[in-house]
Chain A
């Protein structure tokens, strides 16, 4: 492939081999000036590896990278940055303890007589951010600003430093809709300025909203590069999954509306500053979905239900009996379980084995003085590894070495082992590959059939619609609507989320 002059960056035949596995197999990737190019694929498809090869974080084992007509071989992200390739990650890679201006000019502070001139630096920082319509106090610590603002600062820094190619790795994962819109405005403006932008995300809506072309990777190989306008959604999913066609939206949930008596009853349950008091009833064998934008109080709802944050108002009852939900420990005693949203931080105990991770909650409930014997632990682990199809070479493998989907299944196994009556799943399918995704949805349905009560929080609305018999919609840290029966549709949820705050609860 001959480098085209309209290409700001072109990579041909990129190979990357890890001991025992080929992570990238002769992948081609090209980026025009002034385009937003989405890079898609399941987890493990090789997106991150490709980006790391382009930015010098990994040394590639083969292939050619041409930037602006010249061959490059960056040995570090720093070198790539100096060559013109800047990267902004999901977890903002800036320093919260420094000021905004210091973050923008770290390592290249303007100097006078060999000393850093803070005044000049602050003036230039202000001017730089003005290009992004950001008018903030640049002498304040970065920590004082929201993630979205930090993200913009990170982009401003990356563009200012490199200026040819901008790689955005999951930049929208922790932003709400307004913030995403603001970010996209900036991305469009940069596109007009002629930057080549690589955009990695899990959100397909965003891909269609912002990207010009799409490149799909699968199992370390290139599936294809297509113009976004000519690629229907179903076809895109098929490219990503490698199956001819996957039912994007599963059918409705059979048990909807048929649930029996109310089993768990919450009245005026809430916590100041976290979530306004709400009422909630859940039957046995029912899945209640929770929808809302980020920051609407979804996770906060889960946390007070599980006692991770103590409720300061209201009552909780199970079959008429008052529940003690003052701490996770107390909640577990009441047969509650909780799979948190941030698996790495709140879920897995990385250095411990899959076996120990599965046995942890059960052991904690039994108390330290009544250990689960090694034999029982082995049985327990083996049972769930088999039942949930957790792919691991060995139950003694540290759980951090497993893929995201398998970690998620192991955390689920941890709770299933305690045989809970009430299970709260916060974004159970986030960040895991589509295969495991489907398995987890099936699992939710089968648990529900067994009579467990579930609360599932998800930003994937189709998914929620598929298995929930009711969906509670949250806005501004309050439960604002409850959709039941035939009202449970993606459109219905979107409408409820979007409705003005004045509207009364349904």
Chain B
């Protein structure tokens, strides 16, 4: 067990180190960065802010990790966020209760995931193409629901999800932490993780070994849809309204980046939800850090691009083989592979 724990720590080390470096750099430019304050039973501070602002991407990254592990990708999550935000707003303003609203919204997200999953698993369409359909049409559907306007609401229950606090932490933080841990436990304490990895590496071999690859694939996209629904509710609750045009805009890209920065390969297989969550925090820390450090916000995207490129270059196959060249035992593996061929 200790060796498994050690392997886990080693797996998360690069991401954790990158996050630490970024946080330290921000704190150098903004001295009060690590300060936390307790007010009215609620924590305040830049770190809490990062956790809170990062909630949508973190949530999306959970589902995206699983989808990418199956050798897929889900481009539609941003659009699904918009749809679900719109559905939530429409439900609550038309007089449904909070529970009904949440249920309908989550079901909508899962339904969107089901659509993607069927295209990928049953119709056997490439994931990037299959989810493109909903990415393109999704915002139109969301606008259809809101009829083109920004639907505002003032249901205290729904608003609480966006800006309330539980155990001293903002609700969105509680939600993504709890959901992340729940999903991570679900895949690792059961055999799901291994079966998903097998499916991602070699779908046909997994099928022939008796793995229900079709069901698993659909489930992965449904999970991604569910994550997008939760993120959509949080985003809508945060601004107390559904903005079909801007809710979740380009967040699918941030979520994919979070997963890639988290070290899960876009080619599927081995995955780590914890690493993706750290990846999401890295991205949010960059965003928040740039603001706090007093850089003009115009530089935000450039710095983000530069940092991402750096992290990606370090993870690129070429750089990896350069590292491998420096360490002997890996080189031996490389040889065996060639021999096996």
Q: Which A residues contact B (CB, under 8 angstroms)?
A: 18-21, 23, 44, 48, 306, 308, 328-329, 331-333, 338, 340, 345-352, 356, 359-361, 363-372, 374, 397, 400-404, 407, 414
Contacts of B328 in A (CB 8 A): 19
Chain A hits for B195, CB < 8 A: 363-364, 368
B339 within 8 A of A: yes
Is B210 positioned at the interface, with any CB of A under 8 Å from its CB?
Answer: yes
- Chain A residues with CB under 8 A of B190: 368-369, 371
Q: Is the CB of A351 within 8 A of B201?
A: yes
Query: Which residues of B are found within 8 Å of A356, using beta-carbon distances?
Result: 194, 197-198
Nearest opposing residue in chain B for A407, CB measure: B340
Residues of A within 8 A of B189 (CB): 371
* A363 in contact with B191 (CB, 8 Å): yes
Closest to B219 in A: A368
Q: Does B168 contact A (CB under 8 A)?
A: no
- Report the Cα distance A345→B207, complex, angstroms: 12
Least distance between B152 CB and chain A CB atoms (Å): 43
Pair B194/A363 contact, Cβ less than 8 Å: yes
Given A19-B334, A401-B333; A328-B201 close (CB under 8 Å): no
Cβ A402 vs Cβ B340 within 8 A: yes
Chain B contacts for A368, CB-based, 8 A:
190-192, 195
Please determine whether A352 and B197 come into contact, CB atoms closer than 8 angstroms.
yes
Number of A-B contacts (CB under 8 A): 113
A400 touches B335 (CB 8 A): no
In the assembled complex, how far is the CB of residue B287 from the closest CB belonging to chain A, in whole angstroms? 33
- Interface contact A372-B340, CB-CB below 8 Å: no
* Central interface residue in B4, B189, B201, B207, by most chain A CB within 10 Å: B201
- State which size class the interface on B falls in: 35 or more
Asked whether, in the complex, the Cβ of B194 is within 8 Å of the Cβ of A345, the reply is no
User: Which residues on the A side are within 8 Å of B191 (C-beta)?
Assistant: 363, 366-372
Closest 4 CB pairs of A and B: A364-B210, A332-B210, A19-B331, A371-B191
Taken together as a complex, chains A and B put the C-alpha atoms of A331 and B210 apart, in Å, by 8
A374 to B8, CA, bound (A): 15
CB A333 to nearest CB in B, in angstroms, measures: 8
0/1 interface trace, chain B 172-215, chain A, CB 8 Å (1 if under): 00000000000000000111101101100110111111111000
Q: Provide a sorted-by-A list of 19 A–B residue pairs whose CB atoms are within 8 angstroms.
A: A19-B334, A308-B208, A328-B209, A328-B210, A329-B212, A331-B210, A340-B208, A347-B205, A350-B202, A351-B197, A352-B198, A356-B198, A360-B198, A363-B191, A371-B189, A371-B191, A400-B340, A402-B340, A403-B336
B residues within 8 A CB of A365?
210
Contact B340 A346 (CB under 8 A): no
Inside 8 A of A329's CB, which chain B residues have their CB?
210-212
Cβ–Cβ < 8 Å partners of A361 in chain B: 209-210
Whether A401 and B337, one on each chain, are in contact in the complex, defined by CB atoms closer than 8 angstroms, is yes
A376 CB to closest chain B CB (Å) equals 12
